[in-house]
Structure 1
Amino acid sequence: MLEATLWATAIVIGLVLLVLSGDKLSDKIVDVARKAGVSPLVISIVLISLATTLPELLTSAVASYQGLTGIALGNALGSIFANIALILGIAAVIRPLKATKAAYENSLVMLGSFFLVIALSLDGTLSRLDGAVLLGAYAVYLLWLLKKNARKDVELESAERATVIDYAFLLFLGLLLVLGAKLVVYGGTNIAKAIGVSEFVVGATIVAVGTSLPEMTNAVYGALRERGSISIGNIIGADIMNALVVLGVASVIRPLQTGASILTVFLILAVMLPMVISLKRIHGLGRSMGIYFLAVYFIYLVLMFSGVEL
């Protein structure tokens, strides 16, 4: 009884943290972007993606260190797919997401990052050298992004500027999202096991969705506040980080055997390519695209519960 109360309390506290930090995060992104003279998209891609992708980064790094290379690879690829199919699907259904030309340009980087992972994996292994290449590619991308979005106009000295405290608060809010998600996963997983739900179902539902809760909370609040660039930017940044940083770090720690099936790659491309095309054509994602994303995610769940190896 005491344990059940503890698990339920963890879920409630986790949800409260997700709601409160998610509510503040969207406004703070806009505020810091204004002070820094860059678009909210850049803040979402760099800082918020870093904070919300920490669960995937830590999970894959620890799994790789322990020799569980399949988990390290599957965690990163699964997150890339869920970020688009599930999270952007929900956000776009809530409210069509509008974005800028910069979102399309960065989505091309996201697509290129995934193709780079595929190319390096053709020999069946992501070696330590491959990992270094992935991390180097991310460093080049960051330099390009920051240079492209540098403040072009010299502002008056009296103009308000972003401070270290502003950036630290952004990261703090992002970490609160992560903590909230971990509490929800902890409570939900234990309750599910206590009532007899299989570990497979727990992993495929509570844990899978739980590790994506930070991105989901940020994306949903972005949609509700009509800030599509924030929702889309966070997902683009997170997927670039998953491909280049998460897999880069994991393979530097220990070479990864790339046993992902063709079906996994196909599912990712089935949502990633339409996303890039939509950002090019209509500068955003409509409800119909959101419904399509969710339909593909539903197909993924059906395949998984049918025992198909993904």
Structure 2
Amino acid sequence: MILRIGFWFGVLLAAVFVAHWGAERLANPLKKLRRQWGITAVAGGTLIGLASASPEIGTNTVSAIQGVSGIGLGNMLGANILSIPLMMTVAYVATRKQNLSDDTSKSEQSSSGRADTAHNNHEQHRHERLLQVNQSAVTVLALPYLGIITLVAILTIPKPWRGLQPIDGTIMFLAYLIYAGQALVRGRQEGESVEWSAKEIGLAVAGVGALAVGAYFTVRATENLASLFGISNVIAGLFITATMSTTPEVFATWAVTRSGQVTSGATGVLTDNAVTMTLAFVPLALVTVTITDFQLYWVNLVFVAVMPIIYSTFLYWSQDESGFARWQVLVFILVYLGYVGVMLFGVLNI
């Protein structure tokens, strides 16, 4: 029994990393498109989100095809609850590095004067225990993401049309196009010339294949773990798949933030979540998912909304320098622990 659990956890971990390896192969081409089209770092997150959320899209697609859509539903909700507290914590810890530049990598700085100013600003933020984030993330990313969550609630909670249905998938696909479109239009600037290599294109194709393989084994491993633990597919998706699927994103957030791209590192989670709640929603809706445990569903959807509400409130009302103080990052953690408590003792009645 223990050996089988260990084996499938190993398969799950390997599958998640294979899927995210594939996603990373897509990330660089999308970054180049952002530069070529003249899209700002904040708005460009909508493109990067396609790569970072592609493992979730793949997992939901496979779970729908395999007839275990509960895994995809649990993963979609659970990952969107855990990701913001986790990534904000990782980004905050990463910015405690003494010689980190201020939201602009050294390669992007045009003069030593700018480099000195960026260094001094970061030292001030580090002393003030502040994770500096561009305030425009509230209107460009966070509030539109909250609009997406509201739309999901309208489509899936009312009793006459409770659940995920094909028409809902069509609506959410259109919602993503609107979300991405408004961010890209509002964040345009002059583009720059970029070069494309055959190797880059080949790796992107290999990445798509890795995503498919990783998604398949993610679902297979979760299905077997749910059976071994004697829990439902939804619960397995909420706490097993969702937790594991955020692991590679932790390393990505750490690397991006440590490189000096603080705003990109701290806002990427919003675009990832927006893609998860729209494009990753589609394959589940196409096969029709019935919500059998309504309390479990609405409680999770409430916490999915609570996280960006806190994010927007803290960032919008930040004082002289926009960002998140250490105590605010701790609030994210406490809210997630509160969610776990509500699930264990209020919903699952353990």
Q: For 1:49 and 1:214, locate their aligned partners in 2 and report how far apart those are by CA, in whole Å.
A: 14
The answer (yes or no) to whether the contact 1:76–1:246 under 8 Å persists in 2 is: yes
Q: For 1:126 and 1:8, locate their aligned partners in 2 and report how far apart those are by CA, in whole Å.
A: 31
- AA matched with 2:150: F
- AA matched with 2:175: A
- AA matched with 1:271: M
Q: C-alpha offsets along residues 128-179 of structure 1, whole Å, 9 cap, x if unaligned?
A: 112111101111222223322333x4x7xxx633647798599689879979
CA 69–231 in structure 1, closer or farther in 2 if over 3 Å, else same: same
Q: Secondary structure at the match of 1:257?
A: coil
Q: Secondary structure at the match of 2:136?
A: helix
Q: Which residue of 1 aligns with 2:310?
A: 274
Q: For 1:208 and 1:35, locate their aligned partners in 2 and report how far apart those are by CA, in whole Å.
A: 34
Post-superposition shift, 1:89?
3.1
CA 10–55 in structure 1, closer or farther in 2 if over 3 Å, else same: closer
The answer (yes or no) to whether the contact 2:18–2:210 under 8 Å persists in 1 is: no
Q: Which sits farther off after the overlay, 9-18 or 114-123?
A: 9-18
Aligned counterparts, 1:219-230, within 5 A: 219-230=253-264
Post-superposition shift, 1:214?
3.0
Match of 1:108 among 125, 143, 148: 143
Q: Which residue of 2 aligns with 1:254?
A: 288
The answer (yes or no) to whether the contact 1:60–1:72 under 8 Å persists in 2 is: yes
The answer (yes or no) to whether the contact 2:19–2:55 under 8 Å persists in 1 is: no
CA 16–81 in structure 1, closer or farther in 2 if over 3 Å, else same: closer
Residues 1:211 and 2:249 aligned together: no
Structure 1 residue ranges without an equivalent (≥5): none
Aligned counterparts, 1:52-67, within 5 A: 52-67=52-67
- AA matched with 1:298: L
Aligned counterparts, 1:139-218, within 5 A: 139-151=177-189, 153=190, 160-161=193-194, 163=196, 168=201, 198=229, 207-218=241-252
The answer (yes or no) to whether the contact 1:89–1:292 under 8 Å persists in 2 is: no
Q: For 2:133 and 2:204, locate their aligned partners in 1 and report how far apart those are by CA, in whole Å.
A: 23
Q: Secondary structure at the match of 1:150?
A: coil
User: What TM-score, normalized by structure 2, do the two folds share?
Assistant: 0.65
User: What TM-score, normalized by structure 1, do the two folds share?
Assistant: 0.72
Q: Secondary structure at the match of 1:226?
A: coil
Structure 2 residue ranges without an equivalent (≥5): 96-129
Q: Which residue of 2 aligns with 1:80?
A: 80
**Greater C-alpha Rg:** 2
Aligned counterparts, 1:20-39, within 5 A: 33-34=34-35, 36-39=37-40
Q: C-alpha offsets along residues 212-243 of structure 1, whole Å, 9 cap, x if unaligned?
A: 12322222223323322212332111111111
- AA matched with 2:78: G
Q: For 1:145 and 1:170, locate their aligned partners in 2 and report how far apart those are by CA, in whole Å.
A: 28
Q: Secondary structure at the match of 1:134?
A: helix
Q: C-alpha offsets along residues 251-295 of structure 1, whole Å, 9 cap, x if unaligned?
A: 023354373443223322332211011222233333222211122
What is the RMSD computed on CA atoms of the aligned residues?
A: 4.5
- AA matched with 1:263: V
Equivalent residue pairs, number: 296
CA 279–164 in structure 1, closer or farther in 2 if over 3 Å, else same: farther
Q: Identical aligned pairs, as a percentage?
A: 20
Q: Secondary structure at the match of 1:285?
A: strand
Q: For 2:344 and 2:301, locate their aligned partners in 1 and report how far apart those are by CA, in whole Å.
A: 18
Post-superposition shift, 1:110?
0.6
Q: For 1:86 and 1:223, locate their aligned partners in 2 and report how far apart those are by CA, in whole Å.
A: 14
Q: For 1:98 and 1:167, locate their aligned partners in 2 and report how far apart those are by CA, in whole Å.
A: 33
Q: Which residue of 2 aligns with 1:91?
A: 91
Residues 1:308 and 2:344 aligned together: no
CA 148–202 in structure 1, closer or farther in 2 if over 3 Å, else same: closer
Q: Secondary structure at the match of 2:279?
A: helix
CA 169–52 in structure 1, closer or farther in 2 if over 3 Å, else same: farther
